[in-house]
Amino acid sequence: ALRRIVVGADVGRAVNPALIDAQLVGGVAFGIGNTLHESLTYDADGQLVSGTLMDYALPYAGDVPEVEGFYQEVRAKTNPLGLRGLGECGNPGLGGAIANAVCDALGRPELALRALPLTPARIVAAMGDRT
């Protein structure tokens, strides 16, 4: 289980710090879903078989660990208010960070975890017969 995630962003000028914090946590939750759960699965005929919420695994609230968010304010010069878009800023890079954490936890920094979601089957396959 994930224990803690640290995420940061350059927000330009912070208009509402509470919403920035919420966006950071929401982006992390989105990234956890991409990294550990969500997968579009198709059958041999190309028919989507994970098209409902029963089949398409989304993260639960309990899947999101403590998120330590921080931001810096460097006013953007591209608009008069100095704002920058925040979007899903907790998502980019999270897959690689979690994959590296898995490799570190297993004591196997040489593992090549290159596909998401990081399912147990994919991790075992990457470990090969040296488990």
pTM: 0.84
Q: What percent of the chain has pLDDT over 90?
A: 79
Q: Which residue has the higher pLDDT, 91 or 117?
A: 117
Q: What single-letter DSSP state applies at residue 89?
A: T
Sign of CA dihedral 13, 88, 118, 5: positive
Q: pLDDT, tens digit, for every residue of 14-68?
A: 999 999 999 999 999 999 999 999 999 999 999 999 999 888 888 999 999 999 9
In the chain, what is the greatest distance between 2 CA atoms, to the nearest angstrom?
58
pLDDT of residue 129: 55
**Distance between CA atoms of residues 33 and 50, nearest Å:** 14
34: number of Cβ within 10 Å: 20
Cα angle for residues 127, 61, 113 (degrees, 5° grid): 15
pLDDT mean across residues, the chain: 91
Domains of the chain by start residue, with CATH: 4-127 (3.30.365.10)
pLDDT of residue 17: 94
pLDDT of residue 128: 86
**pLDDT tier for residue 10 given thresholds of 50, 70 and 90:** very high
